[in-house]
Amino acid sequence: MGRPRIWCAAAIVGAVILSGCAVTKPVVATPAGPSTVPPVTALPASPASAFPDTAGPTGTAGPTGTTAPLDPTSSLDPTSPLDPTDAAPPGDSSPLSVPGYPSTDAYPPSATPDPSASPTATPSATPKPTPPKPIPAQPKGPYNCAKQKCIALTFDDGPSRYTPRLLDILKQYNVHATFFVVGREAEARPQTIARMVKEGHVVGNHSYSHPEFWKLDAASIKSQITRTSAIIKKASGKQPILMRPPYGESNPTVRSIEAQLGMAQVLWSVDPLDWKVKDEKTVAANVLKAAKPGAIVLSHDLYPTTIRAYTEIIPKLQAEGYVFVTVPQLVKSLKSGTSYSQR
Ligand SMILES: [Zn+2]
């Protein structure tokens, strides 16, 4: 890497030359390729069909006063090609960073420029791979959340092409989570839904197409829920009993329909804003700072940054004595038509 760097330093005049410098620089952390990244696409004309997982148009807040958004630039773009095999993105040979696994952590390209990619970077600035560590798997339940420091991880808006990686990570730690899946994504990846249930996770309903419920009449809301429940049941054999309305937007109509359908509403108490920050360190810091026994943590299994964050969050919370549980394990005696945001 020495020669190109010297050339760069000598030629560091003018944007054109700098550009040439970058091109000839040895590749240090080449991203897996644009095709592996959730495409950033223009929003469809109608916000209701655009999957904007920001708060509602009136700025409806989540239970903690923060928004619970689907990023409109996320992989939930309905025009993006779906990966029916749920395989890793083509060309993606770089695993997410999991203790015990080698990791180049070079995927996907970060919004923040990688200092190692700078023409003036020194070799010492290159991130070193995390040395493999033993994975402290969580002891098997049952858990007593009245006495133990229980916390529930919940993941919305998937399953996405990245969800299998998250499932791998959770499996390594023997951690079970609760997934609030979008019906049309579940329809495209039924094998991921089946795997979730098979591996002990709980699958909840997050509507069929992630609309803003306040814009829909009661019949349409009910249809969004029943259609998705049927997809989950078909894929996994289990009828979902948990419902999280898109954006956490709830009202008496929504709760009434959930009650009719025998479903409990689950919101959250910790929101790391992973959809917004898209940086694993910040996501991890946000969760670690806000975690408390009985919390329900919101995240989105749409972003590699979020998924990588959990490789830091899980062992750190485990070291603090937390056990990870599903929402039904956290909240005993869930009642249909009732809303829960923590234990
Ligand atoms: Zn959502």
Write the pLDDT tens digit of every residue in 311-334: 999 999 999 999 999 999 999 889
pLDDT tens, residue by residue, 262-274: 999 999 999 999 9
Instruction: Look at 234 and 131; give whichever has higher pLDDT.
Output: 234
Task: Report whether 185 contacts 163 (CB < 8 A).
Answer: no
Top-confidence range, 11-20, 83-92, 101-110, 237-246: 237-246
pLDDT at position 33, please?
36
Which of 126-140, 229-243, 282-296 is predicted with the least confidence, judged by mean pLDDT?
126-140
- Give me ligand 1 centre to Cα 29, in Å: 32
Domains and CATH numbers, the chain: 134-340 (3.20.20.370)
- Per DSSP, the three-state class of 304 is helix
- Give me ligand 1 centre to Cα 56, in Å: 11
- Give me ligand 1 centre to Cα 247, in Å: 5
- Give me ligand 1 centre to Cα 129, in Å: 33
Average pLDDT, integer, range 293-297:
98
pLDDT at position 141, please?
82
Q: From CA 28, how far away is CA 118, in angstroms rounded?
A: 10
Instruction: Look at 239 and 43; give whichever has higher pLDDT.
Output: 239
- Give me ligand 1 centre to Cα 156, in Å: 5
Instruction: Look at 93 and 160; give whichever has higher pLDDT.
Output: 160
Q: From CA 88, how far away is CA 93, in angstroms rounded?
A: 8
- Give me ligand 1 centre to Cα 215, in Å: 16
Collect all residues with Cβ–Cβ distance below 8 Å to 50 and sequence separation of at least 6: 43, 44, 72
Catalytic residues: 156, 300
* φ, ψ of residue 13 in degrees (nearest 5): -135, 120
Q: From CA 236, how far away is CA 227, in angstroms rounded?
A: 14
Q: From CA 234, how far away is CA 246, in angstroms rounded?
A: 22
pLDDT higher than 70, residue 111: no
pLDDT higher than 90, residue 55: no
Average pLDDT, integer, range 292-318:
98
Average pLDDT, integer, range 135-151:
88
Average pLDDT, integer, range 7-28:
36
Average pLDDT, integer, range 262-290:
98
- 139 pLDDT band, cuts 50/70/90, is confident
- Give me ligand 1 centre to Cα 213, in Å: 12
- Give me ligand 1 centre to Cα 125, in Å: 37
**Which pTM value belongs to this model?**
0.67
- Give me ligand 1 centre to Cα 68, in Å: 7
Residue 305's H or E segment, with its range, is: helix 304-319
pLDDT at position 197, please?
98
pLDDT higher than 80, residue 156: yes
Average pLDDT of the chain is: 74
Average pLDDT, integer, range 290-313:
98
Task: Report whether 201 contacts 179 (CB < 8 A).
Answer: yes
pLDDT at position 201, please?
98
Q: From CA 118, how far away is CA 122, in angstroms rounded?
A: 9
Task: Report whether 211 contacts 226 (CB < 8 A).
Answer: no
pLDDT tens, residue by residue, 60-90: 334 443 444 443 334 433 333 333 333 334 3
pLDDT higher than 60, residue 99: no
- 198 pLDDT band, cuts 50/70/90, is very high
pLDDT at position 318, please?
96
pLDDT higher than 80, residue 289: yes
**Per-residue tokens: 183:** 């019906």
Average pLDDT, integer, range 193-220:
98
Average pLDDT, integer, range 159-187:
98
